[in-house]
Amino acid sequence: MRWTARALTTTALGLGLMAPAAAQEDVLRVVMHSDLKIIDPIWTTAYITRNHGYMVYDTLLALDETGAVQPQMAESWEVSDDGLTYAFTLRDGLTFHDGTAVTSADVVASLERWGQRDSMGQKLMDFVEAMEPTGEQSFEIRLAEPYGLVTQSIAKPSSNTPFIMPEEVAATPADQQIEDPTGSGPFVFDQEAWEPGNKVVYRKFEDYVPRDEAPSWGAGGKVVNVDTVEWVSMPDAQTAVNALITGEIDVIEQIAHDLLPLVENDPNIDVRISNPLGNQYMFRFNWLHPPFDDAQIRRAALEALNQKDFLDAVIGNPEFYLECAAMFVCDTPLATDAGGEVALESDFAASKALLDAAGYDGTPVVLMHSTDLQVLTNLAPVAAQLLRRGGFEVDMQSMDWQTLVSRRARKDPPDQGGWNAFLTAWVAADVMNPIAAAGFNTSGDDAWFGWPSDERIEELRDQFSRETDLERQKALAEEIQVRALEVGTHMHAGQYFVPMAYRNDQVSGFVDGPAPYFWQVGKVGG
């Protein structure tokens, strides 16, 4: 195994649309971190659905590897002198998979739907006075007052990513899942070939017109070098590694850390980390139902938990994890330890004292346990053990990740199919500021799953969204972090890094970024 300096991402390749069986096609076969069951990347923040979104859709703007906002479907944009009007023009050649041209009405409808669902989009829409087409390929966003994160919001690289859909698809209510997968991205989702639990198939979109620039994260030219991409389901990590070793698959998006020794001496397998800032675990509370409808009890849970136990149970190797007091990710501009130390050490005596003071009556914590994702599977059992040591009763309920993703959207009481807590993970790009990070949205019913409600955090987030001075942004982020841990929006449960593995004798040309991208990848000798 060689730790390469080349960019890596999951790959997407495929068989040509309805090509004869005898045709020689370039097919990229990838084992992803999860099975695809939900195809609406606006309805859910699940990363497998986000990855699906990057295959099928394109974005108006995108961030490059330097963090700069670049045009993607946009040709250009202009901002009025008063900072209140953003005028966008679409580039030529944008076509949906059904052959219809992409128009500004499609873009407006897509951004409006995204703005109802996404934390950063919701905050943007608080400032939007109107958003409407001014021509077939142009539209305006008019603000009620200046807002400093307009283009950064639209260029958001990860969940929820503002993917552009046809207007009639984007008209689907934001709280309902879309059924039509038509996009304008570099791949076409072959819905008929989709076998949940077995494989997902994407075909090269022959009419996609890539940009001329070199690819950089989600920006630049998305040149497809294969006919088909197949996401092959292999829930057992050992089976996936064996398939990589024998060449049955080309890529493992997330190779289990404890299985790295099996490939480290194979000269045909390379391993790399394509997302250098890594990921952050989250323990999420549900504020709607006992016992976590009480801030003192949420704080008791924070006292009982600690990052190292989570990281040791899942990652194991300290080379791939970091205990980090910063909720906005260590080694980033807004990183601060203020108040975050509670996540680093368990204090069971403090937890029990808080429970006594709150009059905790033994109401069990319904803790959802994801069983089929290697990077999540061991988290809930650790949380259950720590919470019990801190004085909680815990009812851990096991399910696959996609079931958890569906269930976490339910506001029902825990004994009627709802929940009290679950653990998940975010790529760093999603949690580097309090507007993008969904966990800090405390707008109640409009907040991310868990539905926290706190006027003070919302006031601080509003101030942050208007602020342009970095030092003042840092001060506000610190105040938000301290407040979030006081009221218990969530726990930042550790920072970790996930290696990808691929056969260097079968594929090449990967692009780095916070999500796995499948353009640019080609078959060796193809």
Query: Would you state the structure tokens that stand for residue 343, as one six-digit string?
Result: 């996540």
Could you read off the pLDDT of 409-451 as tens digits, one per residue?
Answer: 999 999 999 999 999 999 999 999 999 999 999 999 999 999 9
Q: Under a CB-based contact definition with an 8 Å cutoff, are residues 494 and 323 in contact?
A: yes
Predicted confidence at residue 251, as pLDDT, reads: 98
Could you read off the pLDDT of 367-397 as tens digits, one per residue?
Answer: 999 999 889 999 999 999 999 999 999 999 9
Classify residue 251 by its DSSP letter: E
State the span(s) of the chain assigned CATH 3.10.105.10.
Answer: 279-496
Task: Report strand pairing: 365-370 vs 251-252.
Answer: unpaired
In this prediction, residue 526 has a pLDDT band, given cuts at 50, 70 and 90, of low
Percentage of the chain with pLDDT > 90? 91
Query: Could you say which of 3.30.300.20, 3.30.70.920, 3.40.190.10, 3.40.50.300 is the CATH number of the domain covering 2-56+185-274+499-523?
Result: 3.40.190.10
Predicted confidence at residue 276, as pLDDT, reads: 84
Torsion angle of the four alpha carbons 435, 437, 438, 442, in this order, in degrees rounded to the nearest 10 = -50
State the span(s) of the chain assigned CATH 3.40.190.10.
Answer: 2-56+185-274+499-523
324 vs 25 pLDDT, higher one: 324
Distance of CA 253 to the CA centre of its chain: 14
Q: What is the mean pLDDT of the chain?
A: 94
CATH for the stretch 279-496: 3.10.105.10
Could you read off the pLDDT of 168-185 as tens digits, one per residue?
Answer: 999 999 999 999 999 999
Could you read off the pLDDT of 300-356 as tens digits, one per residue?
Answer: 999 999 999 999 999 999 999 999 999 999 999 999 999 999 999 999 999 999 999
**CATH class belonging to 61-170:** alpha beta
Classify residue 505 by its DSSP letter: T
Identify the bridge partners of residue 229 per DSSP, sorted by sequence position.
Answer: 202
Identify the bridge partners of residue 228 per DSSP, sorted by sequence position.
Answer: 14, 203
> What is d(CA 415, CA 410) in angstroms, rounded to the nearest whole number?
12
Q: What are the C-alpha distances in Å from 170 to residues 46, 47, 54, 109, 110?
A: 19, 20, 16, 6, 5
